[in-house]
Amino acid sequence: MAGGRPSKYDPAYCSLMIEWFENSNDWAGVPTFEKYAYTIGVSVSTLRKWKTEHEEFSAAYASCKDLQLHMMFEGAIVGELHAGFTMFAMKNMHNWRDKIEQENINQTIQVNIDAADADL
């Protein structure tokens, strides 16, 4: 017998979450998992737990995350969302990172020390 409170999980939350994300006008047109969790009476940590425990919920969560990213990107491109804030949100909510390219060149360097420099 498992201890604790029974789970509030309902498989219907999968389609409800997708529908909510598709139709939400929250946060300047971009829905958040925190707001969705609030609307169904759970915490966002509960959503993350369900994501690990229920394969169908994990798939719905991933679809909503993709939709959220698309909405943020599109909102910034058309000027509906502040570009700086959107970049900040994408870095924190979708693991975007600034790309820094480095080129490593292996070169042989020849150093000649003549007798006049040897006392230095």
- Residue pLDDT, tens place only, 55-86: 999 999 999 999 999 888 888 888 888 888 88
What global pTM score does this model have? 0.73
pLDDT band at 18 (very low <50, low <70, confident <90, very high): very high
**Contact indicator for 59, 15 with CB cutoff of 8 Å:** no
Residues 76 and 34: beta-carbon distance below 8 Å: no
Half-sphere exposure of 33 (CA within 13 A, CB side): 24
Give residue 20's pLDDT: 94
Is there a contact between 39 and 33 (Cβ–Cβ < 8 Å)?
A: no
Q: What's the rounded mean pLDDT across residues 87-112?
A: 81
Q: Which residues contact 94 (CB under 8 A, 6 or more apart)?
A: 65, 68, 69, 72
Q: How confident is the model at residue 1 (pLDDT cuts 50, 70, 90)?
A: very low
